[in-house]
Amino acid sequence: MPILLEIIMKIYTIIASLFLLVTINSAQAEDFKHTETNTFIKHNDLTFGTRQNIGLDVQQYILRKDFKDTPYRIEYRNVHKGVRQEHWFRAQMKAFKHNGFFYNHRIEHRIREDKDNVFRYRPQFGYKATVGSFTPFIIFEPQWNYTYATQDKGYSHVQTFTGVEYKVSKHFTVAPYLEVDFDKSFNKDLAFFILDFKIKL
């Protein structure tokens, strides 16, 4: 069984590498119309975060709680899109982790001004490997929506994230990466750069 698992992991690594090449090639210079920055400050099991977008009038303010020694996390996001506000409530359960490969279940309820409220299942899966102070990663996040008012439901799109974390010190990590999104037909929708700053108190 371990041999079979290793074979599966190697096949996945090859597929992920090929996808990375396709992702980079599909992102054209005209896609990068804004840059996203995220700052997270963590103390014990609580995290406060903020998301700002350079070139886009969208901000997020994030409050997150991890439950120690469990796979569970809950999160609230206050989202500003121009003059509109949204309230996102998210819950996560870490389902699988082995040799850098992982899968997380995530559900989300969004309360939106001037738009129908929506429920989302948006799991995360991918690969992370730490080499010294660097942790390269590739993450896939497909999303399925259910709109309460119209009862429309179905697959929406997939977000992909490719980059590297650099651990500057035990208290500070920086992560530059690229997000490329694909619509339900897997046609590229948009691409932009992201820079994360993670502070651990």
For tokens 């020694």, the residue is 69
Question: Hey, what's the torsion of the CAs at 65, 68, 70, 74, to 10 degrees?
Answer: 0
pLDDT at 5: 52
Tokens of 62: 């994030």
Tens digit of each residue's pLDDT (9 = 90 or more) over 142-154: 999 999 999 999 9
Do the Cβ atoms of 120 and 110 come closer than 8 Å? yes
Domain that holds residue 104: 2-200
Residues of the chain above pLDDT 70, percent: 85
Tens digit of each residue's pLDDT (9 = 90 or more) over 86-137: 999 999 999 999 999 999 999 999 999 989 999 999 999 999 989 899 999 9
Give the separation between CA 21 and CA 186, rounded to whole angstroms: 16
pLDDT at 1: 47
Give the separation between CA 155 and CA 121, rounded to whole angstroms: 9
pLDDT at 135: 92
* pLDDT tops 50 at residue 186: yes
- Encode burial over 21-37: b for 16+ CB neighbours within 10 A, e otherwise: eebeeebeeebeeeebe
What domain count does the chain have? Answer: 1
- Count the residues in the chain: 201
* pLDDT tops 90 at residue 9: no
pLDDT at 33: 82
Residues of the chain above pLDDT 90, percent: 71
Q: Where are the beta strands (DSSP E) in the chain?
A: 35-43, 46-54, 58-66, 72-81, 84-98, 101-112, 118-121, 124-128, 134-147, 153-169, 172-183, 188-200
Give the separation between CA 34 and CA 26, rounded to whole angstroms: 17
CATH, residue 115: 2.40.160
Of the candidates 19, 70, 8, the one whose C-alpha atom is nearest the C-alpha of residue 182 is: 19
pLDDT at 189: 87
